[in-house]
Chain A
Amino acid sequence: TQLLEQSPQFLSIQEGENLTVYCNSSSVFSSLQWYRQEPGEGPVLLVTVVTGGEVKKLKRLTFQFGDARKDSSLHITAAQPGDTGLYLCAGACGGSQGNLIFGKGTKLSVKP
């Protein structure tokens, strides 16, 4: 069974602080996606990383895919209250099957 472990599960920080969220697995993924989900809504895609060692930046968010394509991290610089939400990582196994394997998510709360 392929599993994606996310840590920490909960994170509560003050506006302006930096944070890193981790997504780890013993399995290799063909790609990994990060989503943000707000209460009562569906997940919204932030980024897809495909190549081992790849780093992508989206404004204050930096995403990294591990060299072995088994893990990933999301770093947020100078967090703002608008960053509050559930951050989910999801691994794609490749092939023609359609399933993404999701972690349980990291619930981030940024206090003003």
Chain B
Amino acid sequence: ETGVTQSPTHLIKTRGQQVTLRCSSQSGHNTVSWYQQALGQGPQFIFQYYREEENGRGNFPPRFSGLQFPNYSSELNVNALELDDSALYLCASSGIAGVTDTQYFGPGTRLTVL
């Protein structure tokens, strides 16, 4: 059974640029959730995708957008990067939408915005 994988592991961008982060869900899982974890903080929910549709969104501006593909992998896109977007971005997959099922986290992508 393959776990959750994310790419790239590290990324450096400058303010105003756009970034795409990728996540492959665990085998058999159809739901992907994205979280942002700033230094010294717990993860904050960005949004969840279930069967290619957005299924809930946290308090993040529209420049944070996502996609889920037919194979249930997912992308997180961030436009017009700001310095405060520097964080560890985590994706988690689960077999059921919502939080009734355990969410399994990937290793994260460390984004630095200069």
User: How far does the Cβ of A37 sit from chain B's closest Cβ, in whole Å?
Assistant: 8
**Provided the pairs A97-B56, A102-B44 are in contact, do residues A31 and B99 lie with their beta carbons within 8 angstroms?**
yes
Spell out A's residues near B (CB within 8 Å): 4, 6, 30-31, 33, 35, 40-45, 48, 88, 90, 92-105
Place the interface of chain B in its size category. Answer: 20 to 34
In the complex with contacts A43-B43, A88-B42, A104-B42, A98-B56 CB distance below 8 A: yes
- Compute how far the CA of A45 lies from the CA of B106 in the bound complex, rounded to whole angstroms: 11
Q: How far is the CA of A14 from the CA of B103 in the complex (A)?
A: 32
Most buried by A among B42, B56, B108: B42
One digit per residue, 1 when the CB lies within 8 angstroms of any chain A CB and 0 when it does not, for chain B 86-112 equals 000010100001111011111110100
Q: Write out the residue numbers on chain B whose beta carbons fall within 8 Å of the beta carbon of A35.
A: 105
Bound state CA distance, A43 and B44, in angstroms? 13
Q: Could you say which residues of chain A place their CB within 8 Å of the CB of B35? A: 100, 102
